[in-house]
Structure 1
């Protein structure tokens, strides 16, 4: 595989590698929101939300549109939603495997 594509993927996943950024993406999946709306929904300081949005914006994961003195954010690519769904399914599969392993250990005791 092309090294540039591998670097893009690594940088892309690094940009997703923070719980607050994932939460922001989940909220934007429900519809466009400005920083104040995101801050209220998350219950976090505006500076923290703005900082995470800047990282997502720099990696072209979200897009901001200025409306007066507010910036409204949207997902740049709806496939992000699919990626988050797949990640959740992988987590669920891992959880099921872990529970099954604990059940086998319990049965052996």
Structure 2
């Protein structure tokens, strides 16, 4: 049973593992949108958007609702918004850690340069 859940999670995250899909999800977190609206907002070709929406639909991450001749897409589960926010916080934490490391390295390098009496 554990392996099945791990596989489900892996497949779910694979479905998110594309920049355009993330862009689509971020856009849909604002509310439902048609393919044309998504395409226009993300400045991407309709075929690329449709292809990525198909992947997201196949993993039940987004749903499409017919509205006359067009289909409006929305997030299947509003918790996707929370997931994206947590991912952004994790990314920001990593970025802060990296910046801190670079500052520390720079300070150490400056200290050793001053000790050696060299100016670069």
Work out whether the TM-score is over 0.5: yes
Distance in 2 (CA, whole Å) between partners of 1:94 and 1:80 is: 21
Residue deviations 1:28-80 (CA, integer Å, cap 9, x gap): 00010000000010111000000000000000000001122111001000110
Look up the SS of the partner of 2:44 in the other structure. coil
Aligned equivalents of 1:51 and 1:96: distance in 2? 35
Q: Considering only aligned residues, what root-mean-square deviation do their CA atoms show, in Å? A: 0.8
Larger radius of gyration, structure 1 or 2?
A: 2
Secondary structure in 1 aligned to 2:60? coil
Q: What is the distance in 2 between the residues matched to 1:68 and 1:79?
A: 28
Q: Which runs of 5+ in 1 are unaligned?
A: none
**Can you give the 5+ residue segments of structure 2 that lack an aligned partner in the other structure?**
110-120
Q: Could you tell me the TM-score, scaled by structure 1's length? A: 0.98
The equivalent residue for 2:107 is: 107
1:76 corresponds to: 76
Secondary structure of the 1:44 match is coil
Secondary structure (helix, strand or coil) at the match of 2:74 reads strand
SS at 1:73 equivalent: strand
Q: Tell me what 2:30 maps to.
A: 30
Runs of 4+ in 1 over 2 A off after TM superposition: none
| Equivalent in the alignment of 2:92 | 92
